[in-house]
């Protein structure tokens, strides 16, 4: 499967805000949708209806998950990139 097809599959049935997060997460993990789904589920959120206003609350939990399953440096880099993306 080429990268365009994989990206399309990852962002099917998700909100635009979730698709934006998946795009950023895909630079740090092979399973960006799964990571986002787990964090959203723990917060009682649905990735199909995730809104931009809910994104700031996900920055820290996503970074912690990344640090736990990947490495601490990746967690810090992800957090920095998510914060920059939210300010844009």
Q: What is the pLDDT of residues 37-56, one digit of tens each?
A: 999 999 999 999 999 999 99
**Residue appearing with tokens 């810090």:** 76
* pLDDT, mean of residues 63-68: 95
- The pTM (predicted TM-score) of the whole model is 0.84
Q: What whole-number distance in Å separates Cα of residue 55 and Cα of residue 74?
A: 19
Q: Is residue 59 part of a domain?
A: yes
Q: What whole-number distance in Å separates Cα of residue 82 and Cα of residue 59?
A: 6
**Phi and psi at residue 35, in whole multiples of 5°?**
-60, -45
Q: What is the domain range of residue 58?
A: 13-87
Q: Is residue 5 part of a domain?
A: no
Q: Is residue 20 part of a domain?
A: yes
What would the pLDDT profile of 10-41 be if each residue is shown by its tens digit? 567 899 999 999 999 999 999 999 999 999 99
Residue 12: per-residue pLDDT: 73
Q: How many structural domains comprise the chain?
A: 1
Dihedral sign, CA of 41, 18, 62, 6? positive
Q: Is residue 6 part of a domain?
A: no
Has residue 9 got a pLDDT over 70? no
Q: Is residue 8 part of a domain?
A: no
């Amino acid at each position: 499967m080429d990268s365009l097809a994989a990206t399309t599959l990852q962002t099917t049935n998700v909100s635009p805000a979730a698709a934006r997060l998946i795009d950023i997460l895909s630079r740090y993990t092979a399973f960006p949708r799964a990571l986002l789904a787990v964090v959203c589920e723990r917060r009682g959120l649905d990735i199909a209806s995730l809104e931009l206003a809910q994104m700031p609350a996900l920055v820290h939990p996503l970074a912690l998950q990344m640090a736990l399953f990947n490495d601490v440096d990746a967690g810090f880099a992800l957090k920095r990139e998510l914060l920059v993306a939210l300010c844009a």
